[in-house]
Amino acid sequence: MKRKIKVLIVDDSAFMRKSLAIMLESDPNIEIIGTGKDGEEGYKLAKELKPDIITLDIEMPKMDGLTALKLIMKDAPTSVIMVSSITTEGADATFKALEYGAIDFISKEQSFVSVSITKIKEDLIRKIKNIVYHKWNSENLNRSSLLKSQKRESSTPKVSGVLPKLGYKAIVLGVSTGGPISLQKVIPYLSEKINVPMFIVQHMPPKFTKSLADRLNAMSKITVKEAEDKEIVQKNVAYIAPGGRHIHFRNFNGSVQVLLKDNPENSLHRPSVDNMIQSATNIYGKKILSVIMTGMGKDGLESIKELKKLGGKCIAQDEESCVVYGMPKAIVDAGCADTIEPLEKIANKINSVL
């Protein structure tokens, strides 16, 4: 039986503090150990209470969330989920928070107005449990290199670690929790000579994907953009699926065209990695290099199983460099990974076969 996860809630809204507390304490494995009404109070409580994870608002009086986050990471480092407003300004601030060390975020409007409270409660609890349990597991493994070695030998299917040069025509990449910062350690290091399009699904609300694309584009040799409906696919461009839309493809006048769709509405994620890879496979066949990185769940597994049957290849991020080892673990456990790579080596692995 795992010990309870200790959560600190920091938000200037009494309603938000109460709502989050009620949501989280509905899970018997989570305990709220304190609440703070501004960044200054949150910083003091983080040092005093040493929580396993903090939910931290961005816009607060006295001391804002970004200032508090920097101080927390310096003096009382722990996992932090930001509570962000779903606006362009909110997205920009959120990405700054992720760069400062926050692991993930929830959006205020999405959480408490426009969608089911029940679904958000489940998502938030799942995020907190996955992040903290992964952290605890990593700490336990790191206590003994022998234990770590034995675990790898017994639990990880052997892979060749070799990717052939198959004349790939496209790269598809799926990522979720921990993705924005992880993508910054991959996309900017891709060679401008890869000469194929890249399609990315990052589980994220609308507006955040545009900010993510713009930030990556400013850092990268290839062009990175949020995908637009009916645009023609170009080589050396990475297309990020917009939050809230599935990205599909079709042949059009000798080219490939992007199609953004709302259906299927019942998929767990929108955009969905599985939807994206299935559609890409219909266009490019086995000439696809797939990459699955940090994230909860198993989005991407079913489509990669089908891709592998055709002869496509897959890179999975390794456990140590993941924020949450869920999506890559599903690929590895199913025997679908051709190579398992630490985050900092994924770009070089891609460059080496294109």
Q: What is the tens place of the pLDDT at every residue in 18-42?
A: 989 999 999 999 999 999 999 999 9
Share of the chain above pLDDT 90, in %: 79
| Domain end point (choices 142, 157, 184) | 142
- Give the whole-angstrom CA distance, residue 323 versus residue 98: 12
Paired sense of beta strands 255-261 and 246-252, if any = antiparallel
108 and 180 share a domain? no
**Domain range spanning residue 56?**
5-142
- Give the whole-angstrom CA distance, residue 31 versus residue 53: 11
Could you tell me if residue 161 is inside a domain?
A: no
326 and 212 share a domain? yes
Six-digit token pair at 94? 């959120």
240 and 337 share a domain? yes
Angle in degrees, CA 328, 333, 338, rounded to 5? 70
Q: 3-state class of 317 per DSSP?
A: strand
Could you tell me if residue 275 is inside a domain?
A: yes
Tell me the pLDDT tens digit for each residue of 42-60. 999 999 999 999 999 999 9
| Number of structural domains found in the chain | 2
Asked if residues 246 and 271 have their Cβ atoms less than 8 Å apart, the reply is yes
Which pLDDT belongs to residue 113? 46
Catalytic residue among 19, 85, 111, 176: 176
126 and 185 share a domain? no
Could you tell me if residue 40 is inside a domain?
A: yes
Which pLDDT belongs to residue 255? 97
Kindly report the backbone phi and psi dihedral angles of residue 289, in degrees, each rounded to the nearest multiple of 5, phi listed first.
-100, 115
Could you tell me if residue 154 is inside a domain?
A: no
Q: Any residues with CB less than 8 A from the CB of 130 and at least 6 apart, and which?
A: 177, 296, 324, 326
Active site residue 299: yes
Could you tell me if residue 95 is inside a domain?
A: yes
The runs of H, that is alpha helices, within 50-163 are 65-75, 88-100, 108-109, 117-142, 145-155
The runs of H, that is alpha helices, within the chain are 14-25, 39-49, 65-75, 88-100, 108-109, 117-142, 145-155, 179-183, 208-219, 273-284, 301-310, 327-333, 346-353
Six-digit token pair at 318? 């390794």
For residue 229, which amino acid is it? D
| Domain end point (choices 123, 142, 161) | 142
Could you tell me if residue 157 is inside a domain?
A: no
Which pLDDT belongs to residue 206? 84
Distances in Å between the Cα of 136 and the Cα atoms of 102, 132, 155, 290 are 17, 6, 18, 29
Paired sense of beta strands 79-84 and 53-57, if any = parallel
DSSP-derived letter for residue 252 is E
Catalytic residue among 134, 203, 246, 248: 203
Which pLDDT belongs to residue 114? 42
Catalytic residue among 52, 104, 274, 299: 299
Asked if residues 343 and 185 have their Cβ atoms less than 8 Å apart, the reply is yes
Could you tell me if residue 231 is inside a domain?
A: yes
- Give the whole-angstrom CA distance, residue 272 versus residue 277: 9
The 10 Å CB-count burial string (b at 16+, else e) for 52-65 is: bbbbbbbbbeebbb
Q: How large is the average pLDDT for residues 105-109?
A: 78
Tell me the pLDDT tens digit for each residue of 252-287. 999 999 999 998 888 888 999 999 999 999 999 999
Q: The CATH number of the domain where 53 resides is what?
A: 3.40.50.2300
- Give the whole-angstrom CA distance, residue 12 versus residue 20: 12
Binned at pLDDT 50, 70 and 90, residue 127 comes out as very high
133 and 21 share a domain? yes
288 and 212 share a domain? yes
Which pLDDT belongs to residue 140? 72
- The winner for highest mean pLDDT among 34-43, 81-90, 111-120, 265-274 is 34-43
Chain CA centroid to CA 319, Å: 14
209 and 76 share a domain? no
Pick from 96, 128, 119: which is nearest to 32 by CA?
Answer: 128
Active site residue 13: no
337 and 195 share a domain? yes
Of 27 and 162, the structure prediction assigns the larger pLDDT to 27
- Give the whole-angstrom CA distance, residue 348 versus residue 39: 40
Could you tell me if residue 194 is inside a domain?
A: yes
- Does residue 151 register a pLDDT over 80? no
Q: The CATH number of the domain where 196 resides is what?
A: 3.40.50.180
- Does residue 120 register a pLDDT over 90? no
Task: Using only the alpha carbons of the chain, give its radius of gyration.
Answer: 20
